[in-house]
A = this chain, B = another copy of it.
Amino acid sequence: MKESELKKFTRYIGEKGLKSTSQRYDIVKAFLKSKGHLSVEDLHHKVQKFNPKIGYATVYRTLKLLTDSGIAVERYFDDGQTRYEHLSPEEHHDHLICVKCGNIIEFEEKKIEALQDDVARDHGFKVLSHKLELYGYCNSCNSINTPGD
């Protein structure tokens, strides 16, 4: 029995005795509607359409709630901004990142995940989440690149 992410948030708010405010719901809904790797800036911008008075601080604070409630995960790429993406254990994906054009391709590989679990077990580690990023040249950038050097 799978509950929607919005329900999950509502439940989290309830369990923690937090208040359900319109700002929080605007932000959560904007987040859930989006996909990919949202920066705080992105999300703040989207939320402005619902409620132009919402400030960065509230977005930051709500994003923390989303992270704590297991709906979102923080990601650190190399652009100096923390980005947030949906956490859905069943459809976890990893990233191929082109260092030339910055394009990010998502992929999924069950066999790698299985091996990860093996490694973790060997170290007595209980894995909650993981992050796998491959950096290199994507197909198009690779063909431009001269192989000799």
Q: Is the CB of A136 within 8 A of B129?
A: yes
Let me know if A58 is at the binding interface, CB within 8 A.
no
A/B interface sample: 17 pairs, CB < 8 A: A96-B123, A107-B123, A109-B115, A109-B119, A111-B115, A119-B134, A120-B136, A123-B139, A124-B139, A125-B137, A125-B142, A127-B136, A128-B136, A131-B131, A131-B132, A131-B133, A131-B135
The residue of chain B having its C-beta at the shortest distance from the C-beta of A120 within the complex is: B134
Which residues of the other chain, B, contact A119 by a CB distance below 8 angstroms? 96, 107, 109, 112, 134
B137 touches A128 (CB 8 A): yes
The answer on a CB contact under 8 Å between A135 and B142 is no
Given A76-B76, A127-B136, A129-B136, 4 new contacts (CB under 8 A): A96-B123, A109-B119, A130-B134, A132-B133
Q: Which residues of B contact A127 (CB under 8 A)?
A: 134-136
- Taking the nearest CB of chain B, how far is it from the CB of A67, in angstroms? 10
Contact A133 B134, beta carbon cutoff 8 Å: no
Is A74 part of the binding interface, using a Cβ–Cβ cutoff of 8 Å?
yes
Copies, count = 2
Which of under 10, 10 to 19, 20 to 34, or 35 or more describes the interface residues of A? 35 or more
The 10 closest A-B CB pairs, nearest first, are A124-B139, A76-B76, A127-B136, A128-B136, A126-B137, A130-B134, A131-B133, A126-B136, A132-B132, A126-B142
Q: Is the CB of B116 within 8 A of A112?
A: yes
User: Within residues 58 to 109 of chain A, which ones have a CB less than 8 A from any CB in chain B?
Assistant: 74, 76-78, 96, 98-99, 105, 107, 109
